[in-house]
Structure 1
Amino acid sequence: MTENELINNLTLNENAYFYKKIKKGILSKNLIDTTFKEASSDKMGNYLLRVIKSKTKVNNKDVEYSICVFKYPKKPSFIDEELKDWEEVKLAYIVIVDFENYIAVSKRNISGTKELSKKIFPLDYNTISSLFIDEDTAFEKISMNNMNISDNAVRSKSVEAVDLKESISSLGLQTYIPSNLRVSNDDDKVSLSLGSSRINKFGKKSNIVFFISWSDNIIDKIENFKASENFLTSFATPLDFEKENSSLKPIAILLLLTKLYDEYEANRIESTKLIFEEYEKEIDVISILNNFSRLMEVKELVSDEGNSYFKILNPFVNDLSLSINPKSITLRSSKLKKLMIKLTDGTELSIIDFFNRTSSYIINFDRVELVYSHRKLFKDSRLLANTDAFLSVFKPSTDLNSVSSEKGSVLPTSTEFNAGSIFGFVEDKYLSSFKFFICDDLGKEWADHIGLDENNISFFHSKYKESKFSASAFQDIVGQAQKNLGNLSPADNQWEMKQKFWDRDYVLDKTTTQIHRIRKGSNSDDAIDYFKNLKAQPNLTKKVYLVINFISKLELTDGLQKLKNNETFKERNEVIQILWFISSLISSCNEVSAETYIICKP
């Protein structure tokens, strides 16, 4: 075939990545050539097709396009070492359509285009998310990421319906960031990947001329876009990072391992190793990173040279820090740079580069309503506005002023928990309200106490801490509650384990007591039968109680008011984190139709 015949033989979907140029103007031949060389660094043999800066006219506009197609070898994922004749041969392509201010890129099996990436940036979040939306648009599917800092919150979820704006509650959506959308306008369906600027219109494949024309129509929509209120306004509000970055002061960060897990599940990680000078050692990267899987404090420090920097406080790596750049926030650590990941496509990168590339972290700031997540800065505009609603879940009790421990001390003759303990407080205050009351503490617990009564399942989680406004203690108990929300409706295979556990007496610090785990009720068999019956009730009420001594409602109310007034005070950072944890807990409980109560000091 001739070159033109090869070009016309290409069939492309209406599916491309759209980027805006940092500086307007047509891309240089040298940049296109460099991009093709980067993209085809592992190619096999000659290019199958290579076209650079071919000129065409579409809709009376002069447009240039470039195409690169090549073969490359790939080691199959089911073998350990490369062997002769044991390789797959795959094809890859990249098409770049060059407009004055934008480019459209269609590609397959392409990874490295670093030089091109320096000249472009993704579409504005507000633009791409609303580009195909009007008052009649149906939202068929939304994948979303949670920007909450609780390590046990649901990190992401996907919902689907004929039209979500008519079938999903907007309650709690302000803590979620849409990542992918599928919308429908009459018979036209379009999916949007908001983080990567990919637009995919459902339809048949066509030739390069049609693809260029479609790309031009998308560019026109982008250039003529006007923002308007729509269903997506219910979600977290994106902000212009460049306008805000000079005022950002990070106070906490949560590293996310979900993207790394995804790579493992897709068999895209070949190996992980630690490199130190000429020394290499295969390691289990997951076991190392699990040490970083909870919220970590960020503190602003001053270097020996007099420059301020943001250090991430943790007991494992002493040089982990944040860098606030003009367009993004990135992680830095020379030690974690030595922890390497090798992907099945041959790419090698450090774990710190992996986190930065995937933006796998959530950052909180001293401006309480702001969050940095997935390379974007977002605002939960309702967070401070909802403080009165959040405070309504706090139920003060003067009896918590006198507690001095979580479980108290026990003896072999003990039949109940000490009156001065939180466990004793819970049983004294709530046991009489239930037909069955169970101590499920320790082991694979669902809660510290479980209360069962007519149409009511209640989980009680207790935490004692001597310090005031302990964000870490609150994180622990919120996490305990969140990870057990599914156990409000347990699976059938869990009952046998609980039957054996609830039959035993309570053991604390190797002391076997006479405290029966069935604190009220006949026996474990009857408790389980009652639990099973409750679970099937259509009007079942589910409740989650957090019982804590380290937060005073009055002092928390005062702290939240100071946040509203943007005042500086000693516990400001702790109150900010506690507010996010409260928001996360209430949102999680709402998703399983559970009521939330926090029993605290007055």
Structure 2
Amino acid sequence: MQISNNKITEIFRTVSSVKTGNYLLNSIRLKLNDDEDIYYSVCVFKYTTKPTFIEEELANWEEEKIAYLLIVEIEDYIVISKKNISKLQDFIKQFKPLDYSVLSTLFVTDDTSFEKFSLKNLNVSDKAVREKTIEAIDLKENFSALGASNYLLNSLRLKNNEEKTSLMLNSSRINKFGKKNSIENFCFWSKNLVHQIKNHINTNTFLSIFAEPQDYEVLKDTLVPISILFNFSNIYTDFEQGLINRVIIRYINDDGENQDKDFNLIDFLAKFERLCKVFTNGGIHSIENSTSKDLEIKLNDKSITVRSQKLKNVKLIHDNGNEISITDYINGKNSFIINFDNIDLAYTNRKLFKDSRLIGSIPNFLKIFQPHNDLDNVTSEKGAFLATSTLFETNSIFRFVEDNFQNDFDYFICDDLSKEWADHIGISENKISFFHSKHKSSNASASAFQDIVGQAQKNLGNLTPQDFQLESKRNIWNSNYNSSDGVNTQITRSRKGQNANQIINQFKETINNPYLRKHVVLVIDFISKSDLETYLENLTNGVYFAERNETIQILWFVSSLISSCQELNTEVTIYCKP
């Protein structure tokens, strides 16, 4: 595909709108050494910007920087190199990115060493680890495939002989270590790369353990979004690094003029950091939220975006003076994960992915659910309280936990409220168990699962706390339970064990036991195992039922918890109704 001179001129003019003075270099569609296959265009310019360490504008307090954009055309491919360049997204959208499956296997052979993985979690649990990076001399030798299908490979660094290459799979970015210190060298490197791409044959590799990319354009018309989780880590990182130095909301004042007002973006984003349901009506996929009623998902021909006319007025001001609306930023960074009524599909990083093991793992998924008849009689989470109460009320989940599990441990603590690690904690010589309890009158509530799974996931690290963390618990574990509505009861928090001193000493000894077993236990009354088995069977067989969307989300939530626990060598059990 040839790019016209006018398009090149236009994009150079757009990206250099902040330049000071004339171009340092500005060349359009030059042929490289009479090589008919290679054309390059390059612009280089200076610009000034406010330093990131000051907030207000100060006279003469400016940094001078140099930016460049190099575009190389080789047959029907373009290769771009840039530095300090923005406003390039609309130009890039004209071209099809390198296919994920091609890029992820392009440099992989049987002898390739994988030095670094950057992984992104496909799960929509808001408390799950969203991203993680791992490194080794060769990850093939020590990376566990358990739960790998829950993750997509965001980027990697690999080594072939003595040659290192890093790949950003979500943006088709390739960085080959070594010198490409001239336009000519970069162009020849690009030509070799294009020929390698054109001759590449996809094969299964070690990377096949991760989520599989799917053809979005083929499946687009079958997709019905049911939920979306926003991930704003990119925005927070840009704030930390000073790349975004101001946020405004633009509105029309009483005189009919545009006016800008500073905007607290952090408080605003906090309202969206939880799974949002998506409702489809007449082809419109509306995102449930309390801030912007016109926020919706748009299934475009080649990608999925979010849009809201209201939120387009929220502008992020970058350090170079450029501004972008919050929706354009979210779409540009693809800062979200979408689930569909297709059970095992998720969309993120501008790609559609499939967790190929999700449906096949349903029988094992069901094994962690343990039915218990007494949960049929539960009517509340904690029951009512009196100043004279020494036990949690009969028919509460808390009482169920204590009646059924307390005697299995040497020590048992109620840690509910006040920066809790769990509702109850059981400790023995070689075992630590965290119990998380949740009562809900509705059936198969995905939001209730999200709450309790999130509580469990965020506290997995506290199963083996440091000494100072245990010391912070001493006073509360030595006290009586005070309810959230202000009743000071006679329920001792140390439900079994004389005092917190003994409990903390045993906790420390248990952590150091080489045979330590860690266990996470969820106790719920808002689903029965028999119903769940029916729902999952219907999902597998493609049978419609009212709880379909809720069940898909439950499957993802609990699968995420199982994966998180497996990674930390922790058992997990869910007690529910029969």
**TM-score category of the 2 structures, normalised to the smaller one:** over 0.9
Match of 2:79 among 93, 104, 108: 104
User: Match of 1:510?
Assistant: 486
Residue 405 of structure 1: SS of its match in structure 2? coil
The answer to whether structure 1 residue 569 and structure 2 residue 545 are counterparts is yes
AA in 2 matched with 1:441: D
Q: In 1, are the aligned partners of 2:436 and 2:521 still within 8 Å (CA)?
A: yes
Q: Distance in 2 between matches of 1:90 and 1:584?
A: 44
- The aligned counterpart of 1:223 is 198
What residue is the counterpart of 1:309 in the other structure?
284
- Which segment is superposed worse, 197-206 or 583-592? 197-206
Shift of residue 413 of structure 1?
Answer: 1.3
- Give the corresponding residue for 1:467: 442
Q: Read off the aligned partner of 1:579 and give its amino acid letter.
A: L
Q: Percent identity among equivalent residues?
A: 50
Residue identity opposite 1:281 in structure 2:
K
| Partner AA of 1:449 in structure 2 | H
Aligned 1:74-223 pairs, distance under 5 A: 74-114=49-89, 116-223=91-198
TM-score scaled by length of structure 2: 0.97
1:590 maps to which of 545, 563, 566: 566
Q: Would the aligned equivalents of 1:35 and 1:114 in 2 still touch at CA under 8 Å?
A: no
Q: Distance in 2 between matches of 1:425 and 1:243?
A: 50
Number of the residue aligned with 1:35? 11
Q: CA deviation at 1:529?
A: 0.8
Give TM-score scaled by structure 1 length: 0.93
Letter in 1 for 2:557: F
The DSSP-based 3-state class of the residue aligned with 1:64 is strand
Matched residues in 2 for 1:115 and 1:309: separation? 25
CA offset digits 1:275-317 (Å, max 9, x no partner): 2213432121111111111111111113xxxxx2011112232
The answer to whether residue 352 in structure 2 is matched with residue 392 in structure 1 is no
Unaligned runs of 5+ in 2: 253-257
The equivalences for 1:301-380 within 5 A come to: 301-302=281-282, 308-380=283-355
Aligned to 1:305: none
Residues 127-184 of structure 1: CA deviation (Å, up to 9, x unaligned): 1111100111111100011010000000000011111111011010101111111011
Of 73, 78, 84, which aligns to 2:48? Answer: 73
Cα offset, 1:80, TM superposition? 2.6
Inter-partner Cα distance in structure 2 for 1:27 and 1:170: 44
CA root-mean-square deviation: 1.3
Asked if structure 1 preserves the Cα contact closer than 8 Å seen for 2:539 and 2:548, the reply is: yes
Contact 1:272/1:285 (<8 A) preserved: yes
Matched, 1:539 2:515: yes
The answer for the alignment partner of 1:299 in structure 2 is 279
- Separation of aligned partners in 1, 2:390 and 2:278: 45
1:288 to 265, 268, 278: 268
User: Deviation of residue 49 (structure 1)?
Assistant: 1.3
1:220 offset after TM fit, Å? 0.5
Following superposition, the deviation at residue 29 of structure 1 comes to 1.1
Structure 1 residue runs without a partner (length 5+): 1-23, 303-307
What CA distance in whole angstroms lies between the structure 1 residues aligned with 2:152 and 2:454? 21
The whole-number CA distance in structure 1 between the counterparts of 2:60 and 2:385 is 69
8 A Cα contact 1:48 1:71, kept in partner: yes
Q: Pick from 357, 360, 378: which aligns with 1:382?
A: 357
Pick aligned residue for 2:233 from 258, 268, 273: 258
Distance 2:432 2:330 in 1: 40
Measure, in 1, the Cα distance between the counterparts of 2:40 and 2:497: 76
Could you say what secondary structure the match of 1:209 adopts? helix
Deviation at residue 540 of structure 1 after TM alignment: 0.8
- Which residue number corresponds to residue 417 of structure 2? 442
What letter corresponds to residue 546 of structure 1 in structure 2?
A: L
Secondary structure of the 2:520 match is: strand
Determine if contact 1:131/1:222 at 8 Å carries over to the other structure. Answer: yes
Residue 408 (structure 2) pairs with residue 428 (structure 1): no
1:114 deviation in Å?
4.8
User: C-alpha separation between the residues in 2 aligned to 1:238 and 1:57?
Assistant: 39
Provide the residue aligned with 2:208 in structure 1: 233
Return the offset for 1:118: 4.0
Contact 1:548–1:599 under 8 Å retained in 2: yes
Q: Contact 1:371–1:379 at 8 Å: present in 2 too?
A: yes
Amino acid at match of 1:528: I
Count of aligned residue pairs for this structure pair: 572
| Counterpart AA for 2:376 | N
Is the 2:306–2:331 Cα contact (8 Å) retained in structure 1? yes
- One-letter code of the match for 2:525? N
d(CA) in 2 for partners of 1:581 and 1:214?
A: 45
SS in 1 for 2:234: helix
Q: Distance in 1 between matches of 2:466 and 2:263?
A: 36
